[in-house]
Structure 1
Amino acid sequence: MVFLLFGCGEPKTENTVSLHKIKDLKTRQYAIAGRELYVQHCANCHQKDGTGLGLVIPPLKDSDYMINDLGRTVRIIRHGLKGEIIVNGQVYNQPMPGNPILKPIEIAQITTYIYTVWGQGEILVTPDQVSDYLKP
Structure 2
Amino acid sequence: MLRYLSLAFPLIFILVFTSQCTHSYRDGKYIYDKLCKSCHMENGEGLKKMFPPLAGSDYLKNNYEKLPCIILLGMDEEIVVNGKTYSRQMPDFPELETHEVFLLINYINHSWGNDGKYTDFREVEANLQKCN
CA drift of 1:24 comes to 4.4
Q: Does 1:76 align with 2:56?
A: no
Q: Does 1:31 align with 2:25?
A: yes
Larger Rg: 2
Deviation per CA, 1:81-115: give whole Å up to 9, x if none: 01110000000000001111100100110000000
Q: Is the 8 A contact 1:82 1:95 kept in 2?
A: yes
Question: Using CA pairs below 8 Å that are at least 6 residues apart, which structure has the higher relative contact order?
Answer: 1
CA drift of 1:25 comes to 4.1
Q: How does 1:4-43 map to 2 (within 5 A)?
A: 24-43=18-37
Q: Which runs of 5+ in 1 are unaligned?
A: 1-22
Distance between the aligned counterparts of 1:100 and 1:127, measured in 2?
A: 18
1:47 to 34, 41, 46: 41
Which one-letter code corresponds to 1:120 in the other structure?
D
RMSD: 1.6
Distance between the aligned counterparts of 2:107 and 2:118, measured in 1?
A: 9
Number of residue pairs the alignment of both structures matches:
113
CA drift of 1:32 comes to 1.3
Give identity over the alignment, percent. Answer: 31
CA drift of 1:26 comes to 3.4
CA drift of 1:124 comes to 2.8
Which of structure 1's runs of 4+ aligned residues deviate more than 2 A?
23-29, 123-127
Q: Does 1:97 align with 2:84?
A: no
1:85 to 76, 79, 82: 79
